[in-house]
Structure 1
Amino acid sequence: MQLFINNPNYDIVICVGPQHIEIAKIVINQVKLFFQAQQIYVITNPSHFEKFQALNLNNLLLINENKLFDQFNFQSVADFLKRKIANGDRAGWYFQQFLKMEVSKIIQSDYYLIWDADTIPLKPINFFDQKDKVLIHKSEENHKPYFETLEHILSIKKTVNYSFISEHFMVQTKLMQKMLLELSTNAENQVWPYYILENIATKDMALSGFSEYETYGNFLKSTCPDAFRLRTSASELLNTTRNGSMILGTLPNTKDLNFLEILGLHYATFEIWQDLNPKKIKANRRRIALFFFFKKIPLIRSLNNLLVKNFRKTYSLPRPLY
């Protein structure tokens, strides 16, 4: 399947918290390299703007996370959680989800790609099929509180036997705007994020009581089921890993990324909360250095096949699909 031939226009949206500044800079450069986006929106605190301006990208737009809403910001979420459960630690986690939704009101393209700030693309990816349907990368997650909140706020039940949660989602701008209008109508005199927060069960609020991916995905299925389809063919399926940090630490270099691409991955997520083993990471980097050394010597280049096979087995990485 050819990439990017007459695809609909789209922008990219990346929400960046203070813990992801450095990895996000790598992500943005890789996004620029591999994806055909019109604009790259980075939503973050203005104290971080200078770090992203240094990237010198002409299609990079920096959005103040505390100015996107008229009457709502990070502190609003933190204050709400402190009143409800006396703990505001999850404020950033909820707030970034709301930002990814509210940004639809300023997006100019027909679509925008939500992309996680700790997920590095390694090669071009097509997000539409030849009929301009959005391609969905499904997962097997099934967290009950997400769907309880969904039913409370939109009167929609889970409509599929899979999860819409992955590290990205191609959103139809007008449909997200339609969903926000419905949420605002249901919220009456409230700003819609307060309405969502109030409909999360108190027992779930301290952990994970809402998912923007599951909410929008099930709204999409309920209102425009013909606008998307699951990735099915070998040329559409994506090979991914969420264990990038376990393999290479939380800040990979160019050679690391080249090796992950050689392993057949489309993208890798580098989560900061994973337990890291510095000795294993150092050993992996030595093996990668050997891999690129062997590539230069035809007589021992075949050893690389064993090295790659060992990496895949150790970290349960899928083989390339095509």
Structure 2
Amino acid sequence: MMMQLFTNNPKYDIVICLGPQHIETAKVVIKQVKRFFQAKQVYLITNVSHFEKFQSFNLTNLIFVNENELFDRFNFQSVADFLRQKINDEDRAGWYFQQFLKMEISKIIQSDYYLIWDADTIPLKPINFFDEEEKVLIHKSEENHTIYFKTMEHILGLKKTVNYSYISEHFMVQTKLMQKMLLEISKNAGDLVWPYHILENIAAKDISLSGFSEYETYGNFLNSTNPDSFRLRTSPSELLNTTRNGSMIFGTLPNTKDLKFLEVLGLHYVTFEIWQDVNPKDIKTNKRRVAFFFLLEKIPMLKSLNKLIIKNFRKTYSLPQPL
């Protein structure tokens, strides 16, 4: 079933938080976001040293945000110093910092909503983020990391309110509600900038792993304060087909033909994670098979072979069936 697009939905901005490991993938992401999504502004939060790598895009609605100037008294080094003092290990500094940035930017966003979109996730077709009643559509998952909710209870006095996870590769945020949540967190932060309050409320044994989730925290705050403003994707026309195994299939930097084939497979977006254990031989083979697929597309009497190619890809990489 084709997704019906609602062109009169609320206007929104897009926020992409970018580390050095995702620069080349993010170039593809931005082009695809511009192609498929109707965003007013695209905010790219990254280190100022990376700005020049995107200047050639020449997009009037691409706004660069220096990650170390978004807060008044807090930056990447602040997180690294805190972790070094608490556990003598700053390896997770970037992981925590990017979450704080995606929350703090709500203070400068001008639109009523902003879409957080992961820098390693490439969209393949238009997607509705609101339904016909202008409710935000949530793409749920099945994660259940207990530590996230312990931290959430410490900083907001809020327990987990749903039996699913809000963690995905994107989240449509209501700007004022995120601002409201930050005010609640700040009430207990004293004179410190609010991220310190979060970091201080993560147990030392947990902080070196994954001690906080901006998606779970905002999602549960949303459900407890404004439950009628969103709903889960449920109907076939709303559900999203996705995979996080893009790097295993085509490596971390897919070309145009790779993306076209993933779209043929019925996927709405694909994540290309740099940490995955990729096999260069498999990637080379997959690219040859894709070239063969599009060659067969030009020969009607051989098109039936393409069904076997598609079936094999879906089975090998556990890809979802088209809805």
Same-fold call, TM cutoff 0.5? yes
* CA–CA separation in structure 2 for the residues paired with 1:53 and 1:232: 40
| The one of 152, 157, 160 aligned to 1:158 | 160
Aligned to 2:204: 202
Aligned to 2:44: 42
Aligned to 2:169: 167
Aligned to 2:181: 179
* CA–CA separation in structure 2 for the residues paired with 1:146 and 1:35: 30
Q: TM-score, normalised by structure 1?
A: 0.99
* CA–CA separation in structure 2 for the residues paired with 1:54 and 1:274: 30
* CA–CA separation in structure 1 for the residues paired with 2:74 and 2:136: 31
Aligned to 2:130: 128
Deviation string for 1:84-129 (max 9, x for gaps)?
Answer: 0100010000000000000000000000000000000000000000
Tell whether the 8 Å contact from 1:247 to 1:280 is kept in structure 2 after alignment: yes
1:76-115 equivalences in 2 (<5 Å): 76-115=78-117
Tell whether the 8 Å contact from 2:4 to 2:237 is kept in structure 1 after alignment: no
Give the secondary-structure state (helix, strand or coil) at the position aligned to 1:38. Answer: strand
Say yes or no: does 1:268 pair with 2:267: no
Aligned to 2:75: 73
Worse-superposed segment, 301-310 or 166-175: 301-310
Q: How big is the shift at 1:52?
A: 1.2
Aligned to 1:251: 253
Structure 1 vs Structure 2 CA RMSD: 0.6
Number of residues paired by the alignment?
A: 321
Aligned to 1:279: 281
Letter in 2 for 1:98: F
* CA–CA separation in structure 1 for the residues paired with 2:60 and 2:185: 35
Aligned to 1:59: 61
Q: TM-score, normalised by structure 2?
A: 0.99
Give the secondary-structure state (helix, strand or coil) at the position aligned to 1:12. Answer: strand
Tell whether the 8 Å contact from 1:4 to 1:36 is kept in structure 2 after alignment: no
Aligned to 2:121: 119
Tell whether the 8 Å contact from 1:9 to 1:38 is kept in structure 2 after alignment: yes
| The one of 1, 4, 9 aligned to 1:2 | 4
Q: Any unmatched runs of 5+ in structure 1? A: none
Tell whether the 8 Å contact from 1:39 to 1:59 is kept in structure 2 after alignment: yes
Q: How big is the shift at 1:5?
A: 2.1
Give the secondary-structure state (helix, strand or coil) at the position aligned to 1:54. Answer: helix
Letter in 2 for 1:35: F
Letter in 2 for 1:156: L
1:300-319 equivalences in 2 (<5 Å): 300-319=302-321
Aligned to 1:191: 193
Deviation string for 1:216-270 (max 9, x for gaps)?
Answer: 0000000000010000000000000000000000000000000000000000000
Q: How big is the shift at 1:153?
A: 0.1
Deviation string for 1:118-164 (max 9, x for gaps)?
Answer: 00000000000011100000000000000000000000000000000
* CA–CA separation in structure 2 for the residues paired with 1:218 and 1:29: 32
